Amino acid sequence: MRRKAAFHNLGCKVNAYETEAMAEALKSGGYEIVPFAPGADVYVINTCTVTNIADRKSRQMLHKAKEMNPAAVVAAVGCYAQDAKAKLDVDPAVDLVIGNSEKSKILDIINRCLDGNDTADYVDAIEGVREYEDLHLSRTEGRTRAFMKIQDGCNQFCSYCMIPYVRGRVRSRKEEDILAEAERLAEAGYREIVLTGIHISSYGLDFDAPGLNQQTPDAKEAKTNVRLLNLIRSLANVDGVKRIRLGSLEPGIMTGEFVEGIAEIPQICPQFHLSMQSGSDRTLGRMKRKYDTASFAGIVGIIRQHFDHPAITTDIITGFPGEDESEFAETKAFVETIGFAKTHIFKYSVREGTAAAAMKDQNTEAVKKKRSQVLIDLDHKARYEYASWYLDKEVEVLFEEERTYRGHAAMEGHTREALTVYLPIRSEEDRDLSGKIVNIHIKSVDDEGNLSV
């Protein structure tokens, strides 16, 4: 009888990619991949440590796994495992602790554990790792869009962030490996490739400046935007790839030359996630970000010169240490000025070991919550306003799967700008739209900014 393995993913799209890659590795090694429920022989939790809440959820899922089957092997993998190794080593619910440079070895590690190997700790000093870890996929959980990891690590060291400490320095995937995976995914029927990584704007930085911990976009010698642009051009030549979407971008990489270059690539989706974090120059300075609001606004202007109604999305942290009412007012005004299509709002979370954790004037949770709600309300309004532009217009939609929308069966898909579209299912032909790209006429938009026919 085959052993059964269950996976649970926490955190970002990179984690999601790696979870699927680890599951594929175990499946190829003879394991049956089963839902995260009682009855598995192995439970793998790919953890996250970006906030205190993520830490808590990681611990909760590890303990839940052991409760579902006390005899099973429970493996803590990833960022929280990398950071909290000492705590997890003595946690009775955890049998294996696997860091961020050992995920590709998970099949061998689990086999050895089940065969009685006593080694339980597989966490190396991540800051010394210089090679990209060989993880790959031939299929993904979705049926039409595929996330594809192109790099790992970050050299930026923003004052609030744990990621460089748990993910290590920038390590880029070889272009030939990326293209080979894209070819496999396209052959399997995936029409959209989403490029993801811990800091994709740094793609190729380690190729151009090996052994140096240079930052992006300040690295004057390493032309990382050229590396990324050339990669995108190569992906556009892969048969079957109809869309290429970029993950979160460092604003400074979006130079006029880079934006002009990607605008010439028909497959590029005009949705750009620029991590702003604050609309106050004083706050940005304490965050150790590499731009100010004027340069950010200029970058958005360049994008809008080259794309028709692009979706500019962003992240904002509220309640950062020292953020007073005047700085928050600056952020609020800047958000209103830019006109984002979508904003992801996060309350600042103290992370031990970062520079921001030791800063004075820490804001209370009540202040963070109040300011977050102000921006959430703005975001709801902005999403509706952006989506309403498409009313009574024809849009290109990549349909994915059947969902329930407003109490009725509908096909769900996404535009090139990442807006969600619902098409009521009126016949079996409508159900056959999964994986197909069609142009449809938009008749309505709901309060969340979803479009429908």
The predicted pLDDT at position 179 comes to 98
Determine the average pLDDT of the residues in 123-137: 89
pLDDT in tens, 57-73: 999 999 999 999 999 99
How is 58-121 classified by DSSP, letter by letter?
A: HHHHHHHHHHH-TTSEEEEEEHHHHHSHHHHHT-TT-SEEE-TT-GGGHHHHHHHHHTT----E
Q: Check whether 23 has a pLDDT greater than 90.
A: yes
The predicted pLDDT at position 378 comes to 97
Pick the CATH number of 145-388 from 3.40.1080.20, 3.40.50.10190, 3.80.30.20, 3.10.620.30: 3.80.30.20
Note whether 172 and 204 are within 8 A (CB): yes
Residue 225's pLDDT band (cuts 50, 70, 90): confident
Q: Check whether 218 has a pLDDT greater than 60.
A: no
Residue 224's pLDDT band (cuts 50, 70, 90): low
Q: Check whether 362 has a pLDDT greater than 70.
A: yes
The predicted pLDDT at position 222 comes to 55
Q: Rounded distance, CA 18 to CA 33, Å?
A: 15
Q: Rounded distance, CA 422 to CA 404, Å?
A: 9
Provide the CATH topology of domain 4-124: Rossmann fold (3.40.50)
CB proximity list for 46: less than 8 A, separation 6 or greater: 7, 8, 9, 10, 11, 15, 18, 19, 22, 77, 78
The predicted pLDDT at position 347 comes to 96
Q: Rounded distance, CA 46 to CA 69, Å?
A: 18
Q: Check whether 221 has a pLDDT greater than 60.
A: no
Q: Where are the domains of the chain?
A: 4-124, 145-388, 394-452
Determine the average pLDDT of the residues in 329-351: 97
Q: Rounded distance, CA 63 to CA 190, Å?
A: 36
Q: Check whether 394 has a pLDDT greater than 70.
A: yes
Kindly calculate the radius of gyration of the chain based on its CA atoms and give it in whole angstroms.
22
Determine the average pLDDT of the residues in 395-400: 96
DSSP 3-state of 399: strand
Q: Check whether 438 has a pLDDT greater than 90.
A: yes
The predicted pLDDT at position 54 comes to 94
Helices 224-236 and 256-263 sit at what angle, rounded to 10 degrees?
0
The predicted pLDDT at position 50 comes to 92
Helix extents (H) in 252-316: 256-263, 281-287, 293-306
The predicted pLDDT at position 107 comes to 96
DSSP state of 274: B
Is-cis flag, bond preceding 217, omega within 30? yes
Token match 């950071």: residue? 83
Q: What count of Cα atoms within 13 Å lies in the side-chain half-sphere of residue 360?
A: 0
Determine the average pLDDT of the residues in 141-154: 89
Determine the average pLDDT of the residues in 205-225: 70
The phi and psi torsions of 210 (rounded to 5 degrees) equal -60, 135
- Taking all residues of the chain, what is their mean pLDDT, rounded to a whole number? 94
Pairwise pLDDT comparison (427 vs 342), residue with the higher score: 342
Note whether 231 and 225 are within 8 A (CB): no
pLDDT in tens, 99-127: 999 999 999 999 999 998 878 889 988 98
The predicted pLDDT at position 272 comes to 98
Bridge partners for 147 per DSSP: 194
Using a pLDDT cut of 70, give the percent of the chain over it: 97
Whole-Å CA distances, 318 to 55, 248, 290, 368: 20, 19, 18, 6
Q: Which two tokens stand for residue 83?
A: 């950071």
Whole-Å CA distances, 260 to 142, 253, 256, 408, 442: 31, 12, 6, 42, 29
Q: Check whether 147 has a pLDDT greater than 70.
A: yes
Determine the average pLDDT of the residues in 233-247: 97
Q: Rounded distance, CA 433 to CA 422, Å?
A: 12
Q: Check whether 219 has a pLDDT greater than 60.
A: no
Residue 142's pLDDT band (cuts 50, 70, 90): low
Determine the average pLDDT of the residues in 305-315: 97
